Amino acid sequence: MSESIDNNFHGQRVLLVDDDPSLLKLLAVRLRATGLEVQTATSGKQATSVIPRFSPQLVITDLRMAEMDGLALFSHIQEHHPGLPTIILTAHGTIKEAVAATNQGAFGFLTKPFDSQELLTLITKGLALNINALPNQTTAEQDTWRHDIISQSVVMESLLGEVQRVAQSDVSVYIQGESGTGKELIAQALHKASKRSDKPFIAVNCSAIPEDLLESELFGHRKGAFSGATESRQGLFETADGGSLFLDEIGDMSPAFQVKLLRALQESEIRPVGANTSIAVDVRIISASHRDLQQLISEELFRMDLYYRLNVVTLRLPPLTERLEDIPILAQHFITNSASLAKGFSNEALEKLVSYHWPGNVRQLKNIIDHICTFATTPLIPVNLVDNALQEKQATLLSFNDAKTNFERDYLIKLLQLANGNVTEAARLAKRNRTEFYRLLKRHDLKAAQFKPQK
C-alpha cells in the first residue's frame, strides 16, 4: 500500500459491517493499517445504531446478512444519513442484486474475493464523495424547494445554501453558468424558497424573443400601439406581480432595450407600449446568462449600471466537470425517470460517464441518458452503449445558445466572403446597420480585413 494512501486515510472513519466475525476482524486490521479509524458491526441492525454515535464517513457492508441485509441497511442510510457513501460487498455478485444496489444509488459494489487495491480505490473515491461534513439535512418538508435538484457534491450543497439565504430577501440575483448547468432550475428553486413562492414564477428567454417584441412582451401594450396590436395585452412584469421574473440570457439584450429595462427596475414600474401612464409592479428579478457579462461590459455591449442593478448577488453554477460526484446520481435519476428496461449502469459505463468532458453539462447528460435508454436491452447498461451514445451525440448535441452562436458566426463569415471583406456591403446584405454589424463581428472576434481578396 502506498504511503500517499496511508496519509490520505489518516483518521477518517469507516464502518465495516459483516456477519462473519473472522472476515470482519481481518478486514478491520487491514484497513486500520492504512490509517483509517475503523468500527465494526455484525449486522445491519447493529450498524444503524453505530452510525449516529460513530458518524462514519463511509460504510462498507456485506450484502447477505441475517436480520437486516446490506440493501436494507443501505435504504436506511439513504433515508436517515443521505450522502453517506456506501460500498456493498457480496460473495455472490448476482446481477439482480447489483442492479438493485446501483438502482438505489449505492456507490460501489465489490464481489468477494476482492483485491485489496480494488477496495482501497473504492474507499478513496467514497471518502471523496462524502458530504457528511455538512450540517444535518433539514426535514423533507422544509426542503421541497430543492426537490428537483439532484446533487450530492459539496460545491452544489454550498450553492444551495446560498440560494436559501438569498431567497429570504428580495435582492436581484444573477446566475452565471455554462449552458445546461441548471440555471433555470436554480432560479425556480430560489423562487420556491422565497416568501413569494405562492405567486407566479415567470421565465423569459431574452435571446429567443426578437428585439422589437421584447418590450411589449415584458411591459405589455395597449390596443393600437403598433400595427397588429388589435387587443391590449398584459406584459410579463405584470403577470409576475408579487412573484419572480426570470430574465434568461440577458447578455443578448440589445443596448436600446437595456435602457428601458434599467428604468423599469429603478422605478419599480413599467409603461406598456402605447400607454400614457406607468404601472407599479412588485417583482423579484432573477437573471442569467451563459456569457461573461464582465467581458460584454468591457466591450461596451452591456451597461454597467444595469449590471449592478441585476447583479446584487451572483450565484455561480459550476460546470458538471467541477462536480463529478453529481454525475452518477444524475445519471441514475435520469434512468429511473425513463420508461426504459435499464435500471442502472455497469461500473465501467459509469466511469465512462464520469470521465467525459460534458461541454453541454447536465442538459447534455440528460440527453445522452435518454438516448441510451431507448437502446438498452439489459437492466445494467454496458459501457459500449455509453461509448456509442457519446460518439454519436457529441457533434449534434449543442444547446440552443451554442447552436445559435455557431450559426451566427458561420453566417457572418459567409457574408464577409460574399462582400469581399467590405463591411458596408456585408451589413447591407444582412439588412443590419453598420454599427450593429461591427458589434456582431466583434462578438465573434472576426476581422473584415481577413476577407479582403489577397493581392
Ligand X SMILES: Nc1ncnc2c1ncn2[C@@H]1O[C@H](COP(=O)(O)OP(=O)(O)OP(=O)(O)O)[C@@H](O)[C@H]1O
Residues forming the site for Mg ion (CB under 5 A): 184
47 vs 362, beta carbon nearer ligand X? 362
* DSSP states of 216-262: HHHHEE-TTSSTT--S-EE-HHHHTTTSEEEEE-GGGS-HHHHHHHH
87 vs 247, beta carbon nearer Mg ion? 247
> Which of ligand X, Mg ion, none lies near 243, with the C-beta cut-off 5 to 8 A by kind?
none
**Phi, psi (degrees; rounded to nearest 5) at 441:** -60, -40
Which of 23, 50, 150, 273: binder of ligand X (CB under 6 A)? 150
Least Å distance between CB 121 and ligand X? 27
| Site string (370-409) toward ligand X, x via CB under 6 A | -----------------------------x-x--------
Q: Which helix (H) or strand (E) holds 326?
A: helix 326-336
**Residue 284 CA neighbour count, 13 Å, CB half:** 27
Integer Cα distance of 267 and 242 in angstroms: 16
Q: How far is CA 26 from the centre of its chain?
A: 42
Q: Give SS3 for 58.
A: strand
129 vs 362, beta carbon nearer ligand X? 362
Integer Cα distance of 242 and 240 in angstroms: 6
90 vs 179, beta carbon nearer ligand X? 179
> Which of Mg ion, ligand X, none lies near 258, with the C-beta cut-off 5 to 8 A by kind?
none
Least Å distance between CB 27 and Mg ion? 48
Q: Determine, following the binding rule CB under 6 A, whether residue 179 of this chain makes contact with ligand X.
A: yes
> Which of ligand X, Mg ion, none lies near 271, with the C-beta cut-off 5 to 8 A by kind?
none
Q: Determine, following the binding rule CB under 6 A, whether residue 296 of this chain makes contact with ligand X.
A: no
**Phi, psi (degrees; rounded to nearest 5) at 62:** -70, 155
147 vs 447, beta carbon nearer ligand X? 147
> Which of Mg ion, ligand X, none lies near 309, with the C-beta cut-off 5 to 8 A by kind?
none
Contact region with ligand X (CB under 6 A), list: 88-96, 172-180, 382-390, 408-416: 172-180
| Site string (184-223) toward ligand X, x via CB under 6 A | xx--------------------------------------
Integer Cα distance of 435 and 206 in angstroms: 21
Q: Determine, following the binding rule CB under 6 A, whether residue 282 of this chain makes contact with ligand X.
A: no
Least Å distance between CB 184 and ligand X? 3
Q: Determine, following the binding rule CB under 6 A, whether residue 102 of this chain makes contact with ligand X.
A: no
Q: Which burial class, exposed, middle or buried, applies to 288 when counting CB atoms under 10 A from its CB (0-12, 13-18, 19+)? A: buried
Binding positions for ligand X, 343-362, rule CB under 6 A: 362
CA distances from 213 to 241, 257, 266, 337, 401 (A): 20, 10, 22, 37, 19
> Which of Mg ion, ligand X, none lies near 362, with the C-beta cut-off 5 to 8 A by kind?
ligand X
Integer Cα distance of 402 and 275 in angstroms: 37
Contact region with ligand X (CB under 6 A), list: 26-34, 174-182, 253-261, 301-309: 174-182
Peptide bond into 85 cis (omega under 30): no
Integer Cα distance of 145 and 352 in angstroms: 32
**Phi, psi (degrees; rounded to nearest 5) at 196:** -90, 5
Contact region with ligand X (CB under 6 A), list: 76-84, 105-113, 162-170, 182-190: 182-190
- The C-alpha cell that represents 94 in the structure block: 448476482
Torsional sign, CA 91, 94, 95, 96: negative
Q: Please give the size of the binding site for ligand X, defined by CB under 6 A.
A: 18
Q: Determine, following the binding rule CB under 6 A, whether residue 183 of this chain makes contact with ligand X.
A: yes
CA-based nearest residue to 123, from 7, 2, 14: 14
184 vs 269, beta carbon nearer Mg ion? 184
Least Å distance between CB 187 and Mg ion? 8
Instruction: Give residues in contact with ligand X (CB under 6 A).
Output: 149-151, 177, 179-185, 290, 330, 362-363, 366, 399, 401
